[in-house]
Each structure stands twice: as structure tokens, then as C-alpha cells.
């Protein structure tokens, strides 16, 4: 059974104004503490990588090998999540430092940064949880919403999700390729040739580094170093998959149709981000290790603000949700990951075979034709004013 809440257009715009105010406050306060924060994470990441590489020379002793793998695994997690993901969102562009420029940064994974910026920054964050638009809903291989048409292939939902978890960096790399559309004949070689070349260049360098160069540097310890690097990548893949899926797919996260999000205002976009995301509760270290994507709701509202600010923004966002009767989806890691895997299992079956959990569905009062015309006229007037201002 689904409970419905309907927001008026006035309420939606009020929510948007309140969130804009939160954003403005943080932007005005950005400064040295944010600069020091990101550099402290970079120092920690580099220190862990150096430590892991050094310990590999002691890998014949099992405690040293496990310590090396742990250090390298954490280093890769920090590089991908708290540094790479956030830097490439433009969260530190205001610092105007080349090493933290969103367009120039490259991370320690097989996916080319420029392709990820398109598939994630643009496609996912623009069309969040819109079925058939946001390819993160199922990553092209999973059924993650009941609105997705079922077919027997999805009986393997749990197996496909497990494979994606283990090979997550490769799944992210292939994401922009849209393999399912290639198989369906909707894309051809000319559409993807440039993408494939970029993938080959980046992945070959990454494989060479992790599985040839670094193992060769340890001489006779090559097999142990090779296995250690593979294990560190596995740790990063499983952790990253788990955090990302917990932030997007646990019970209560809402999906949307193309029709209901057409001609969306900024306030409506804000509401969709809040309803299409979920948080994970934890301590400060947990939040750092998740790239602060444990605050997925705040991240989707403010993707270009430094993620270290999300914890202080979260109570304000939650208060807005409570004020307007909106759900603020949050829970422990165990609860959210368990809920996510239950959903993966449940959606492997056709809708008529399973009882879907009761959910709170939030909809926005539809605009009338007169409202749409009035809005179009207002936007046209603003455009005319802008052109007049520019000409003056």
C-alpha cells in the first residue's frame, strides 16, 4: 500500500528558496578550513599508498602483506571517493589550483575522468532516478525499479549485482558505453569509437601500473605484489559499490517518470533529489571513507559544494523535510545495505509475484496550461531584460 503526499507548487518553491539560502551561507563561508581539509585527505592518501608499497617488500611475512593490502585499499578508497569524486564535481574549483581542477583531475581507476564527468556529473545528477533517463538506475544490467519492464534476464539480478560489485571500477568505465543499447542496435561503432579509445588508453595504463610495473619493482615478490594490488582493488570496488548503492536504492527511495518531471522548476529538481537519495549514519571516519556520500541527500542537492560541509548542512535539510512532511531517508549502514540487497532480490521477479513494501509517494501539484504559459512569458521577459542589460 502506498501513502501519498501532495506538495503544492508554492510549497515546492518555498523549499527551493530555503535550500538556496543554505547553499549561499556555505558558499560565503568557504575558505582556509576547506582548503586544509582536502589537503589533509590528500596527504593521508599519499602516505597510505607509500606505506602500502613499502610493506609489499616485506610481503613474505603474512602480517606485512595484509597490512600492505589494507593500506593500499584505503588509499584507493580515499583517492576515488573523498578526493576524485568530489574534486571532479568542481567542489574545489574555487581554490583555482591546478591539482584540484575538476576538468584536469585524473583518478586511480580504469574509468577515464572525462567520461565519468559526463555519465555521472551530467546524466546522473541531471536526471536523478528518472526511469529510462538516469542510467544509474540499474547501470544498464540490473532491474532496480518496479517501473522497469521485467524479463527473464532479471532472474539473475543478484548474480549481476554481485559481479558488478566485484568488478565495479570496470562497470563504471563501461557505463558511458551503453552496452545494452549497442546490443539492441540503438548505438553503433561510430557512436562509441571515441569512447572505446579513451577507455583503452586509461585502462591499459592502470593495468600496467597495478599488475606489471609495481609487481616488477618488487622483483621475486612479483606474485605477492600482483595479488596484493588485485586485493586492494577488490576492497575499493566492494566498498564503493556498497556506499553508492546504499545512497540510491534502499527501501523508500523514490523513482520518477519522464512525464512527471517534464518542464521541471529548480524547486522541483531539489525535491526530486531529496526523494531520490538516502543517507547512511556513521561516525566521522565512516563519512570520510565514504567520500561523505553517506550524506547522499545533501550531495544530490549541492553536488558542487565541498563534501566536508555536508554534515553541518544535514540537520538543516532534515528540518526542511520535517517541516513539509517529506521523508528524510537515513539509517545505519547495515540497515541500508540490507534493504538494498532485498530490493535487488525482490525486483528479480515480476511485480505480480512479490509484495512490494509500503512506500510514501510524494507528488507535486501539476501545473495548468495557464501556469505553463505564464511561466514561459515570465522567462521570456527575463531573457529580454538580460539581452537589454548585455547590450547596454
What's the rounded Cα separation, in Å, for the pair 377 and 380? 5
- Residue 373, in any domain of the structure: no
For residue range 286-311, list pLDDT tens digits in order.
999 999 999 999 999 999 999 999 99
What's the rounded Cα separation, in Å, for the pair 179 and 203? 17
Average pLDDT over residues 249-274: 92
Query: How many structural domains does the chain have?
Result: 1
What's the rounded Cα separation, in Å, for the pair 10 and 374? 15
Cβ count within 10 A of residue 344: 21
User: 142 or 356: whose pLDDT is higher?
Assistant: 142
What's the rounded Cα separation, in Å, for the pair 157 and 152? 10
Average pLDDT over residues 300-325: 96
Least confident interval from 14-18, 82-86, 139-143: 139-143
What's the rounded Cα separation, in Å, for the pair 275 and 168? 25
Residue 372 has pLDDT above 70, yes or no: no
What's the rounded Cα separation, in Å, for the pair 290 and 282? 10
Average pLDDT over residues 121-150: 92
Backbone angles phi and psi of 227, in degrees to 5: -65, -40
Q: Is residue 175 a contact partner of residue 139, using CB atoms and an 8 Å limit?
A: yes
Q: Is residue 131 a contact partner of residue 147, using CB atoms and an 8 Å limit?
A: yes
Residue 370 has pLDDT above 90, yes or no: no
Average pLDDT over residues 65-71: 98
Residue 345 has pLDDT above 90, yes or no: yes
- Residue 258, in any domain of the structure: yes
- Residue 318, in any domain of the structure: yes
Triad 29, 31, 34: Cα angle to 5° = 105
Backbone angles phi and psi of 302, in degrees to 5: -135, 65
Task: Provide the pLDDT confidence category of residue 376 given band limits of 50, 70 and 90.
Answer: low
**Averaged confidence pLDDT in the chain:** 91
pLDDT of residue 179: 81
Q: Which of 310, 239, 316 is nearest to 279 (CA)?
A: 310
- Residue 370, in any domain of the structure: no
Residue 183 has pLDDT above 50, yes or no: yes
Residue 277 structural domain: 2-361
Q: Is residue 96 a contact partner of residue 176, using CB atoms and an 8 Å limit?
A: no
pLDDT above 90 as % of the chain:
77
CA distances from 295 to 66, 134, 282, 287 (A): 30, 20, 10, 8
pLDDT of residue 222: 97
Average pLDDT over residues 304-327: 96
- Residue 270, in any domain of the structure: yes
- Residue 184, in any domain of the structure: yes
| DSSP assigned state of 127 | S
- Residue 177, in any domain of the structure: yes
pLDDT of residue 191: 81
Packed helices 222-248 and 168-175: angle between N→C axes, nearest 10 degrees: 60
- Residue 343, in any domain of the structure: yes
Task: Provide the pLDDT confidence category of residue 101 given band limits of 50, 70 and 90.
Answer: very high
Amino acid at each position: 500500500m502506498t501513502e501519498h503526499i501532495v506538495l503544492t507548487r508554492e510549497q515546492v518553491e518555498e523549499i527551493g528558496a530555503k535550500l538556496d539560502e543554505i547553499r549561499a551561507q556555505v558558499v560565503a563561508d568557504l575558505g582556509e578550513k576547506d582548503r586544509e581539509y582536502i589537503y589533509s585527505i590528500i596527504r593521508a592518501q599519499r602516505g597510505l599508498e607509500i606505506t602500502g608499497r613499502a610493506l609489499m617488500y616485506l610481503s613474505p611475512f603474512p602480517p606485512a602483506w595484509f597490512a600492505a593490502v589494507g593500506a593500499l585499499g584505503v588509499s584507493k578508497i580515499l583517492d576515488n571517493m573523498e578526493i576524485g569524486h568530489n574534486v571532479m564535481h568542481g567542489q574545489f574549483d574555487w581554490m583555482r589550483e591546478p591539482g584540484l581542477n575538476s576538468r584536469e583531475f585524473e583518478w586511480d581507476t580504469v574509468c577515464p575522468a572525462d567520461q565519468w564527468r559526463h555519465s555521472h556529473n551530467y546524466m546522473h545528477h541531471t536526471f536523478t532516478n528518472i526511469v529510462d533517463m538516469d542510467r544509474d538506475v540499474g547501470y544498464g544490467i540490473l532491474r532496480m525499479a518496479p517501473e522497469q519492464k521485467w524479463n527473464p534476464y532479471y532472474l539473475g539480478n543478484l548474480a549481476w549485482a554481485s559481479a558488478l560489485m566485484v568488478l565495479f571500477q570496470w562497470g563504471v568505465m563501461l557505463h558511458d558505453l551503453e552496452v545494452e543499447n549497442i546490443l539492441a542496435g540503438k548505438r553503433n561503432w561510430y557512436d562509441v569509437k571515441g569512447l572505446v579509445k579513451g577507455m583503452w588508453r586509461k585502462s591499459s595504463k592502470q593495468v600496467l601500473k597495478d599488475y606489471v610495473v609495481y609487481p616488477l619493482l618488487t622483483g621475486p615478490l612479483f606474485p605477492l605484489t600482483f595479488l596484493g594490488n588485485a586485493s586492494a582493488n577488490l576492497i575499493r570496488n566492494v566498498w564503493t559499490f556498497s556506499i553508492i548503492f546504499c545512497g540510491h536504492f534502499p527501501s523508500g527511495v523514490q523513482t520518477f517518470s519522464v512525464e512527471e518531471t517534464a518542464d521541471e522548476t529548480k524547486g522541483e529538481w531539489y525535491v526530486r533529489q531529496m526523494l531520490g537519495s538516502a543517507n547512511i549514519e556513521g561516525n566521522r571516519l565512516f563519512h570520510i571513507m565514504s567520500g561523505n556520500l553517506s550524506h547522499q541527500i545533501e550531495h544530490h542537492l549541492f553536488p558542487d559544494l565541498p563534501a566536508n560541509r555536508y554534515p553541518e548542512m544535514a540537520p538543516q535539510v532534515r528540518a526542511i523535510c520535517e517541516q513539509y512532511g517529506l521523508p528524510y531517508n537515513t539509517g545505519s549502514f547495515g540497515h541500508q545495505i540490507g534493504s538494498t540487497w532485498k530490493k535487488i532480490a525482490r525486483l528479480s521477479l515480476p511485480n505480480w509475484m512479490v509484495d512490494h513494501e509500503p512506500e510514501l509517494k510524494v507528488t507535486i501539484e501539476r501545473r495548468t496550461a495557464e501556469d505553463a504559459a505564464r511561466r514561459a512569458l515570465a522567462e521570456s521577459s527575463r531573457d529580454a531584460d538580460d539581452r537589454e542589460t548585455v547590450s547596454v
